[in-house]
Amino acid sequence: MLEVGMKAPDFRLMDKDGNTVNLSDYAGKKVVLYFYPKDNTPGCTRQACAFAANYEQFQMQDVVVIGISKDSVASHLKFAQKYNLPFVLLSDPELQAIQAYGVWQEKKLYGKVSMGVVRTTYLINEQGNIEKVMPKVKPDTNAAEILAYLAGEQ
């Protein structure tokens, strides 16, 4: 897991429309980078919809929202269309960013151990450094917690 103050690892991934996106494209802006396990699952859908519902507030503060999972570009496109998601969704099937950010971890579900994405959010500052790390976030409150932090309430 990366820590506050560290340089955020750059990446080069495809968005839902097949465009190449680098983290460095957003230099000079704050970036909310959230990693989630899978499109169209209950928790991930609630988290994405919460970001969508608060998207205007992020825009007003010139904050970019980016969601990353290992789902395909096609899956992201369907997910974004189905739920009207206005922010960037990036596909990381090779786990490039997922591993660089330390969110590919051992998970236990019903006694079964497997590797997967642990829901984690990073706030990256305008200089490309990690400003806040939010490990094991709750899907329903993640967007509101970030907005509260940005407003100086946390």
Domain of 103: which CATH number?
3.40.30.10
Q: pLDDT tens digit string along 1-60?
A: 799 999 999 999 999 999 999 999 999 999 999 999 999 998 999 999 999 999 999 999
Which positions are catalytic?
Answer: 44
What is the pLDDT at residue 79? Answer: 97
CA of 7: how far to CAs of 63, 76, 86, 118, in Å? 18, 27, 27, 21
Within-domain flag for 118: yes
Residue 108 binned pLDDT confidence (cut-offs 50, 70, 90): confident
Structurally, the chain folds into a number of domains equal to: 1
Question: Is 90 a member of any domain?
Answer: yes
Q: What is the mean pLDDT of the chain?
A: 94
Residue 134 covered by a domain: yes
Residue 73 belongs to a domain: yes
Is 95 part of any domain? yes
- For a pLDDT cut of 90, what percent of the chain falls above it? 90
Per-state percent for the chain, helix, strand, coil, to nearest 5? 30, 30, 40
Whether 127 maps to a domain, the answer reads yes
In a domain, 2, yes or no: no
- Residue 153: predicted pLDDT: 75
Predicted confidence (pLDDT) at residue 154 exceeds the cutoff of 80: no
In 5-29, which positions are buried (b, 16+ CB within 10 angstroms) versus exposed (e)?
eeebeebebbbbeeeebebeebeee
Residue among 115, 116, 118, 152 nearest 132 (CA): 152
Range of the domain at 101: 12-139
Cα distance between residue 86 and residue 83, in whole Å:
9
Higher pLDDT, 109 or 124: 124
Is the model's pTM score more than 0.85?
yes
pLDDT, one tens digit per residue, over 65-97 is: 999 999 999 999 999 999 999 999 999 999 999
pLDDT above 80 for 142: yes
Residue 32 lies in a domain: yes
